[in-house]
Amino acid sequence: MASKTTLNAKNLEALGTERLAQLLIEVSNGNAAAKRKLRLELAGAQSPKEAGRAIAKRLTSIANAKSAINWKKRKAFIDELQTQRRGIVEQVGSSDPEQALILMWRFMGLANPVIERCQSGDDEVIEVFHEACADLGPLVAAANPSAEMLIDTTFDALCENMYGQFDKLISTLTPALGANGLERLRQKLEAFLETSNATDLSTDVILRQNTAEYMQSIAERRKQRIAKSALLELADAQGDVDAFIAQFEPWTRTLPENAILIARQLVVAGRAAEALDFLDAADVDEDDWDRMDWQDARIDVLEAMGCKDEAQAFRWACFERDLWADYLRAYLRKLPDFDDIEAEDKAVEIAMADPELLAALQFFLDWQSPDRAAELLINRHSEIDGNRFEYLTPAADALVENQPLAATLVLRAMIDFAVSKGRSKRYRHAARHLATCAELAPRIEDFGAFETHETYVARLKSQHGRKSGFWAYVG
C-alpha cells in the first residue's frame, strides 16, 4: 500500500478544501504560470463564457509580446501554450463549441510570430500547433460553422503555414469540408497562385539582397511554395493522383524524394505500373542519402504489381550492393523452407569477400553473428582502418565478451593509428583501449600469428616511446 505521505490525489483530498486552497496560494506565490492556471480554473468554474474571456485576454497578451524565447524560457512557454489550448477544448469547448472554435483559430494565429520568437527548440512549439490542428476536428464538428466560413478560415491558415505548423490541417478538416468544400478550397488556392506576383530576380537585385524588391519577391515565392504544398495535401485528401502529380514541375519529378511520393499515390490509386515508371525514371545516384527509401518504394511497387520474383531479385541486388541486413532478412522471409539456409550461406560468402571491410563488419554485427565478424577481422586484419573509430568502437564493444582476440585487433588498430599519426586528442581513448587489451589478454588462449599483449606493448614503447602525452595517460 502507498504511504499516506505519498503525493497523490487521494492523499491530498484528505487535507480538505480549505487547507488545499491555502497551499495553492503558497505554491503559486511568485509563479506567474501557476497563477494563470488557477485564474483560468476559477473563470471556468463561473462559466464557459468567463473562461473564454480569460483565454482571449491571455492570447492577446501572447500576441503582443515581442521578447525572444530562449532555451531557458522554452519549457515554461510551451506549458503556457498548452494550458491555453487545453482550456479552449476542455473549459469552453464542452459547453460553447462556437466560442471555442473562434478561440482556437485565434490560438493558431499565434503560430508564426511565436515560432519566430523562439531561438531554439521550435520543433516542440510547432508540435503544440499540430495538436491544435487535431483539436479543430471535433470543435468544427460540434460548432458546425458555415461552409464559406470554414473554407475561408482554412484557406487563411494554409497561406500562413510558414513552418509546417498546419501540415495536418486539411486531413483533420476533410470530413467537415466534404468533397464540395475540398474542391472550393482547391479553387481558392489555384486562384491565389495565378494572381501571385513573384517574379524572376535579376542578378543586380540578388546582389542587393536587402532591397524592398528582393524581400517582396522572396515573400511571394514563399507563399507560392506554401500554396503548392497545400494543393498536394488537398489532392491527397481528394484522392486525385493526377492533380497530385500536377503540383510537381516536370523536371522535379525525377528527384528521388518526389518520385517516391508520386509512386505511393499511384499505388493507392491502383496504378502501380505507372508508379514503377516514375521510380525508374528517378535520378538516383549511388551515394544519395535517400537511395534506400527509393529502393524500399520500388520493392513495394513491384509487390503491388504482383511481380514477386522481380521484387525478390531486387531485394537480393540491394543486399549484394550495400550488405544491408534488412534486405537479406526480407529476402529470406519470402523463401520456401530450407531454401533460406542455402541463401544465407551464400550471403555470408558474399559479405566475407566484400572489398569494403567495414561494410562487411557492420553486416555481421547487424546480423548478430559475432563469430563471423571475428573471423572476418582475423582473416583481414591488415585492412582494419584505425581511423574509423565510429565503426570500430561499437564493433569492439560487441566482440569484447565472446571474441577477445578480434576485439583486441580492433582496439590495437585504433591505438596504432592514434599514436603513429600523433593524434593527441585521441591519446586518452587509445590509453583506455590499451587497458582493455590488457584485460582481454588472459582470456585469449592462442594469439596465433599475432603478438601477445606483452610483445605488442614492448613494440609500442620501442616505436613510440617518445609520445609522452600518450604514455602519461597509460601511466
- 377 vs 217, residue with greater confidence: 377
252 has pLDDT over 80:
yes
Nearest to 330 by CA among 346, 318, 322: 318
- pLDDT(293) > 80: yes
Task: Give dist(CA 118, CA 67) in Å, integer.
Answer: 9
Yes or no: say if 170 and 237 are a contact pair by the CB < 8 Å rule.
yes
Average pLDDT, the chain: 87
pLDDT attached to residue 254: 93
Q: What is the mean pLDDT of residues 259-273?
A: 95
CA distance 48 to 209: 50
Q: Identify any residues that bridge with 69 across adjacent strands, giving them in sequence order.
A: 118
pLDDT classification of 121: cutoffs 50, 70, 90: low
Mean pLDDT of 181-185: 93
Reply yes or no on whether the pLDDT at 350 is more than 60: yes
pLDDT tens for 394-406 read: 999 999 999 999 9
Higher pLDDT, 14 or 385: 385
Place of cell 464542452: 94
Average pLDDT over residues 1-25: 60
39-53, 294-308, 328-342, 459-473 — which is least confidently predicted? 39-53
Per-residue model confidence (pLDDT) at position 205: 47
Determine the average pLDDT of the residues in 407-430: 95
Angstrom CA distances, 194 to 188, 191, 224, 246, stand at 10, 5, 10, 15
**Averaged over 202-211, what is the pLDDT?**
55
Q: What band does 91 get if pLDDT is binned at 50, 70 and 90?
A: confident
Residue-level pLDDT at 104:
95
Sign of CA dihedral 184, 186, 189, 191: negative
Percent of the chain with pLDDT over 90: 63
Question: What pLDDT was estimated at residue 291?
Answer: 85
What's the burial of 1, exposed, middle or buried (CB within 10 Å: 0-12/13-18/19+)?
exposed
How many CA atoms lie within 13 Å of 308's alpha carbon, on the beta-carbon side?
3
Question: Could you tell me the pLDDT band of residue 21, with boundaries at 50, 70 and 90?
Answer: low
444 φ, ψ (degrees, to nearest 5)? -95, 110
Grid coordinates standing for 311?
521484387
Identify which of 420, 396, 419, 416 has the alpha carbon closest to the alpha carbon of residue 408.
Answer: 396
Q: Among residues 396, 401, 400, which one has the least CA distance to residue 415?
A: 396
Between CA 25 and CA 458 the distance in angstroms is 72
* Geometric angle at alpha carbon 181, from 179 and 182, rounded to 5°: 65
Q: Please give the share of the chain, as a percent, with pLDDT higher than 70.
A: 84
Residue tagged 471535433 (cell numbers): 138
Burial of residue 95 (number of CB atoms within 10 Å: 0-12, 13-18, 19+): middle
99 Cα distance to chain centroid? 35
Average pLDDT of the segment spanning 339-360 = 95
pLDDT of residue 201: 45
Q: Between 46 and 81, where is the model more confident?
A: 81
> How far is it, in rounded angstroms, from Cα 426 to Cα 123?
35
Residue 2: pLDDT above 90?
no
| Torsion 313-314-320-323 (CA) sign | negative
Q: Tell me: pLDDT of 35 over 80.
A: no
pLDDT (average), residues 354-358:
96
